[in-house]
Structure 1
Amino acid sequence: MRLSIRNQLEGTILSVARGEAMAAVKTRLASGQDLTAAITRESADELELIAGQPVTMLVKATDVALATGTVGDVSIRNQLPGRITSLTAGAAMTTLKVAVDGGGALTAVVTNDAVNDLDLTEGDEVLALVKATEVSVAID
């Protein structure tokens, strides 16, 4: 299967917390960072997700937000530090490549206004933020 989702991060499930309707799937990425997905319990059961299982975590580039400093109290659990390796500006949006600390990469697509307001340039350290509800889980 080929996907249009640019961010495909390999990892191993650390835990699956199943609730009545939703499940939280906590994964350790190859970079050593942790990434959590909030998916339906039905999906977790159908995929038979268990700790120790290899998975691919999927995140659309438009679901990645960037911060230039530490983030205070915020509900976003997925916070991956890294460094901008490239910026490609378009008419309204900019595509940024971020090398994640420990290895791996993310692509973020943000508005040009955000890039300008944050004064983002190649080499800047950033924190990539992704809500758990915006992460999908794939298995082979």
Structure 2
Amino acid sequence: MSLSIRNQIAGTVTAVTTGEAMAAVKVRLEGGQDIVAAITADAVKDLGIASGTAVTALVKATEVALATGPVEGISIRNQLSGTVADVATGPAMASVKVDVDGGGLTAAITADAVQALGLAAGSPVVALIKATEISLATA
């Protein structure tokens, strides 16, 4: 299956906390950073997700926000440190490629945000992703 979702990062499940309808799945990415995906309890069961399961985390580029450093006082817990690899800016929007340990991410943000944050190749950034915006795939 081919997907339009550009952000696909491999990892291994380290913990699953299942509630009545939803589950929080902690994933250790290949580079050592951790993320949490909030998926349905049915998906955990249907995909056979358990500690040790190899997964691919999928995130649409429009769901990745960027900051110039770690952000405190925010409910977004997925904060991946990385470095800007490339910025392609158009009149309104920009595509920012970020190298993170274990893979790469693309963030679709406004051109104004690129300018305001001073983003360029080599800039240190933190990619912010809500747990509810991460999907998981198994092989």
Instruction: Please report the TM-score for the alignment, with normalisation by the length of structure 2.
Output: 0.96
Give 4+ residue runs of structure 1 displaced > 2 Å after superposition: none
Distance 1:49 1:103, change over 3 A: closer
What percent identity do the matched residue pairs reach?
55
Aligned length: 139
Unaligned runs of 5+ in 2: none
**Residue equivalent to 1:103:** 102
Report the AA paired with residue 70 of structure 1.
P
Instruction: Please report the TM-score for the alignment, with normalisation by the length of structure 1.
Output: 0.96
How much does 1:120 deviate? 1.2
Report the AA paired with residue 94 of structure 1.
A
Unaligned runs of 5+ in 1: none
How much does 1:81 deviate? 0.4
The separation in 1 between residues aligned to 2:66 and 2:12, in whole angstroms, is: 25
Q: Give RMSD over aligned pairs.
A: 0.9
Task: Provide the secondary structure at the position in 2 that maps to 1:128.
Answer: strand
The separation in 2 between residues aligned to 1:2 and 1:54, in whole angstroms, is: 19
Report the AA paired with residue 54 of structure 1.
A
The separation in 2 between residues aligned to 1:52 and 1:26, in whole angstroms, is: 11
The separation in 1 between residues aligned to 2:18 and 2:96, in whole angstroms, is: 34
The separation in 1 between residues aligned to 2:102 and 2:19, in whole angstroms, is: 32
Task: Provide the secondary structure at the position in 2 that maps to 1:115.
Answer: helix
The separation in 1 between residues aligned to 2:135 and 2:94, in whole angstroms, is: 23
The separation in 1 between residues aligned to 2:21 and 2:66, in whole angstroms, is: 30
The separation in 2 between residues aligned to 1:33 and 1:70, in whole angstroms, is: 14
**Residue equivalent to 1:85:** 85
